[in-house]
């Protein structure tokens, strides 16, 4: 796939984790696959579910690592090496408990922020210089740092409209990154999704 872009959503495999906060990256990738009419296929040699798409004249490889979150780098490292994808053309979508629910933040590079999935990718690609889209999932009301049970729990019913809005905005941001580049995608979409009337929503 010459000049391909790699779009990775982080999460944990299996029905048990499908709708949890930690899997919001998987949820975004499912939306993108649906919009681009791309079919998921298991790729055992990469330990991933992979879907190929063509959009805006570009070749896109959608990836959901099946390694479990903390070993995501095994998949990302293998795919970037196999397809020779420059890291600037690799976008990783990930949950972020340090961002309020409803907020998204795209950056061209950065630290892991303590996120084990991002740490694993850093270790396997040997760099922090790749775009990452952080999707806010909020934090427990008491603000405690140990939040394993929280991130592995589903969103609450009353959070559904916000989750819908943020996934819509994140979908638009990824498409803007593909079509117009990272600067426009950051400037247009970073911030809080406001709901169905959000002007940033994709057409």
Active site residues: 22
The Cβ-side half-sphere exposure at 3, using a 13 Å CA radius, reads 6
Q: DSSP 3-state assignment of 26?
A: helix
Contact at 8 Å (CB) between 151 and 117?
no
**CA distance linking residue 117 with residue 123, whole number of Å:** 10
Asked whether the beta carbons of 106 and 132 are under 8 A apart, the reply is yes
Give the pair of three-digit tokens for residue 100.
């309020």
Name the burial class of residue 190, with classes exposed (0-12), middle (13-18) and buried (19+) by CB atoms within 10 angstroms of its CB: middle
Choose among 113, 103, 120, 110: nearest CA to 67.
120
């Amino acid at each position: 796939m010459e000049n391909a872009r790699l779009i990775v959503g982080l999460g944990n495999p299996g029905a048990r984790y499908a709708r949890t906060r930690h899997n919001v990256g998987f949820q975004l990738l499912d939306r993108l696959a649906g919009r681009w009419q791309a079919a998921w296929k298991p790729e055992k040699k990469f330990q991933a579910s992979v879907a190929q798409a063509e959009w805006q004249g570009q070749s896109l490889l959608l990836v959901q690592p099946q390694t479990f979150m903390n070993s995501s780098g095994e998949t990302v490292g293998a795919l970037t090496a196999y397809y020779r994808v420059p890291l600037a053309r690799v976008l990783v979508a990930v949950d972020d408990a340090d961002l309020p629910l409803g907020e998204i933040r795209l950056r061209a590079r950065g630290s892991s922020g303590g996120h084990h999935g991002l740490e694993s990718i850093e270790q396997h690609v040997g760099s922090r210089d790749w775009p990452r889209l952080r999707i806010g999932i909020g934090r427990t009301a008491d603000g405690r740092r140990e939040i394993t049970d929280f991130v592995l729990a589903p969103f609450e019913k009353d959070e559904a409209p916000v989750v819908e809005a943020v996934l819509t905005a994140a979908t638009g941001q990824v498409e803007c990154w593909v079509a117009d580049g990272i600067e426009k995608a950051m400037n247009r979409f970073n911030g809080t999704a406001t709901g169905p009337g959000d002007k940033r929503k994709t057409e």
